[in-house]
Amino acid sequence: MPVFGRVVTAMATPFSADGALDPDGAARLATHLVAHGTDTVLINGTTGESPTLEDAEVWDLLAAVKDAVGDRAQVMVGTGSNSTAKTVKATERATADGADAVLVVTPYYNKPDAVGLQHHFTTAAGATSLPVLLYDIPARTSREIPLDTLVELSEVDNIVGVKDATGDLAKAGQLLARTEGAPGGFEVYSGADEVNLPLLSLGAAGFVSVSSHLIGDALAEMARLFATDPAKAREIHLRSLPVWRWLFAAPSPAPLKGALDRIGLPGGPVRPPLAPASDDIVDALLAALEPFGGAEGVR
């Protein structure tokens, strides 16, 4: 079994109507996710609106989610930033507070070169004994982790893989080929739902998903069947395309939170500067769930 299982859900952070953190809602949402196919719950990631969370809120969120599902799922915390010192501090706190793993994103805005990236990630990994998952998402950071740098980082014992949100299947294939036999093992997780199945077919371990909030059981089935029943896995992938289209038709996680609220699961508003998704987008997203049993299938 891959180190984080097949399905990692990048969990939305529930807020109350006034925008305050809702720890009870977070516990309920995490419980729902684990009951519907999630192996690892990721908090304080992109979908969790990490740029708007205060440090204290992250640790309250970790405590709530860990208490709710820690006996049957792993809890990963996003600790990366564009400051190496802040990343180390957050990684140390996540370790002390009982996280099972950390996600470290590529530094954004300051755009370090390969030498800077190497130092940043190895320094973060050196601050913890936990497994570290790198996060390569150049559309948001303006800096892609070079292939050679990823291969070098795979030699660090507790850097166990990368969440690949580049959409570059050729690069992912080369990375998988070049990191076979890495000392601590090195796994690639899809970081973009629309390439989940293509990356699985190349040898990816699984995926870090947003849509698993809504179609988690189906995605878990796809991950389970892709090697033995590729036709069924393909059918699930193609059936999911409209869900993915509408889930990202407005800045994420606004459409997801709109759908969660309609369905009756904890979501709440997005925090500014994000704006709520339009009713038309949420309506279309809910309609895309009909082949999966609609709102009742999510519940």
Cross-strand pairs, 190: 164, 207
Give alpha helix (H) positions in the chain.
Answer: 23-35, 55-69, 84-96, 114-126, 138-141, 147-153, 169-178, 196-202, 212-225, 230-247, 254-263, 279-288, 294-298
Bridge partners of 21? Answer: 15
- Cross-strand bridge partners of residue 206: 189
Residue 135 a catalytic site member: yes
* DSSP conformational letter for 204: -
What does residue 241 show for φ and ψ, rounded to 5 degrees? -55, -45
Length of the chain: 299
Q: Report how far residue 221's alpha carbon sits from residue 98's, in angstroms, rounded to the nearest whole number.
A: 30
Proportion of the chain in helix, strand, coil states, percent, rounded to 5: 50, 15, 35
Write down the catalytic residue from 66, 89, 135, 171.
Answer: 135
DSSP 165: -
267 three-state secondary structure = coil
Catalytic residue among 86, 108, 163, 257: 163
**Radius of gyration over alpha carbons of the chain, in Å?**
18
Q: CA 201, CA 189: separation in Å to the nearest integer?
A: 12
163 is catalytic: yes
Partners of 164 in beta bridges: 136, 190
| Residue 103, φ and ψ in degrees, nearest 5 | -110, 125
Q: Could you give the CA distance from residue 122 to residue 284 in angstroms, rounded to a whole number?
A: 43
CA 6 remoteness from chain centre? 12
The position carrying tokens 């998402």 is 137
The residues annotated with a catalytic role in the active site are 135, 163
